[in-house]
Structure 1
Amino acid sequence: MAELDENSGFGSKNVENCDPERCIQFLGVPKVANYEGIRTRLDTSTTEWMDVFLKKGGLTVLTENLAKFAERKLENQDAHLSLKCVDCIKVVLNKGIGMNYIVKEENGNLTENILLGLQSRDTATKIAVTEVLATITSYSDKLQGYKSVINALDRNENQEHRFSIIIDELKATESLPYKSALLMFVNSLICKIPSTSERRQRKEDFVKLGIPKIIDQLRDEYAALLIQVDVFEEFKVDDDGEGESSDEEDQN
């Protein structure tokens, strides 16, 4: 198989019948067009094709690249690459075989790599990564996904508490969509626990980290937002009414 260089592109002729090994090679050439093409190929893949892609390390390469892109100084190209990379990961996990693969205990490093995606300075990437983490957490009645995410959080050595990274992100961001995604992640970490006593303890963990204050601030922010929506609607109704009256006067 011919080696690829940084100028290699994933042309449309290569997509339709590209084999897993070739796709993995293209993952090593960080270009948005390549990742868009790979996403298409992943989306249309058979179970057999995806099985080979996983066994050859395709998902490992994707998650490692996400972590690398997130560490870089943010540029437009890096932001697009990060988001396209998460899109590819989502497609793989949407296939049952992909999700079953990532939650295996021996593949825990893959979830750790996805967690590192929260280091990205691109908000859209952070939202997408958080959605992936919440999806993994909620997967399987046997708590395989939940355990995979908890283990990844536990191995995050830069945090004082396993959930500090979530709270820190909630405090730092001004993006309401990102805050919403983070709270969805928090809820998945709580709701997935079958034991009532353990759920209470999990809630208490977040309470101690200061989540009540964050929730109160969110209520205020959404209240202010809804007030502006109501004002807009009131002006719209009033103006529409005045417009109809004006039209009737002009006709008379």
Structure 2
Amino acid sequence: CLDSSPKNENSVINYSPSCRSEPVRPSFIFRTQFLELSGLDLLLEALDRLSGRGCSRIADALLQLTCVSCVRAVMNSSAGIHFIVDNEGYVRKLSQALDTSNTMVKKQVFELLAALSMFSSEGHRLALDALDHYKSVKTQQYRFSVIMNELQSTDNVPYMVTLLSVINALIFSADDLRQRDKMRKEFIGTFN
């Protein structure tokens, strides 16, 4: 599903092993080069290609998990999370990875959206925008439908905890009490 031919030197196949084989805390130089060489673009492109088509192969599911883990590694650095916040389209692309049957991928994406929401008011805005975008692309009625539908349909307790954490992060990251109350009511309205 991904082009791993030699002619495409910047394929995600070439980047993802580097992400995995780097030390737990990749060097500043590695992270900077990764971002400058469009590594994040390729990871998100790979996630987009793999999502929404019901990856039935184990290799595809593992590649999805690897891509999300690499995005997490990028977001675990100050330069990486600032890079993502400064490039609005990345968060929307990340949200497209929710269109998968792989619960582990969705769990990690929700964790990243929660972290982004807690990072800054701009990160919070981008997380909400990504959920709005996902709602539009998937023609859902509410922007929080994806969260609430997942919460209602799962019996996986760690996944439920993550979903509740996302809800809390989105509500508590709102700038003022009125926004928090409005968002809380929006979640309640989505649930009913």
Listed as ranges, the matches of 1:199-218 within 5 Å are: 199-210=180-191
Shift in Å, 1:26: 4.7
Listed as ranges, the matches of 1:22-33 within 5 Å are: 25-28=10-13
Give the letter for the 1:199 counterpart. R
Higher relative contact order (CA 8 A, sep 6+): 2
Contact 1:42 1:88 survives alignment (8 Å): no
1:65 corresponds in structure 2 to 46
CA RMSD of aligned residues (A): 2.3
Listed as ranges, the matches of 1:106-117 within 5 Å are: 107-117=87-97
Aligned residues: 185
2:143 corresponds in structure 1 to 162
Alignment partner for residue 169 of structure 2, among 164, 188, 202?
188
Give the letter for the 2:28 counterpart. T
Contact 2:171 2:183 survives alignment (8 Å): yes
CA–CA separation in structure 1 for the residues paired with 2:179 and 2:141:
21
Shift in Å, 1:46: 2.9
TM-score by length of 1: 0.67
Which one has a bigger Cα radius of gyration? 1
The alignment status of 1:47 with 2:28, answered yes or no, reads yes
2:73 corresponds in structure 1 to 91
Shift in Å, 1:43: 4.5
CA–CA separation in structure 2 for the residues paired with 1:44 and 1:191:
29
Contact 1:74 1:122 survives alignment (8 Å): no
- Structure 1 runs (4+) greater than 6 angstroms displaced: none
CA–CA separation in structure 1 for the residues paired with 2:91 and 2:166:
14
Give the letter for the 1:164 counterpart. S
CA–CA separation in structure 2 for the residues paired with 1:148 and 1:25:
27
CA offset digits 1:71-90 (Å, max 9, x no partner): 23322111111111111111
CA offset digits 1:150-190 (Å, max 9, x no partner): 11122221222111111111122222211111110011000
Contact 2:4 2:11 survives alignment (8 Å): no
Q: Percent identity?
A: 28
Give the letter for the 2:30 counterpart. W
Most deviating of 45-54 and 127-136: 45-54
CA offset digits 1:35-71 (Å, max 9, x no partner): 3442233755432332232133211111121122122
The alignment status of 1:121 with 2:101, answered yes or no, reads yes
The alignment status of 1:79 with 2:67, answered yes or no, reads no
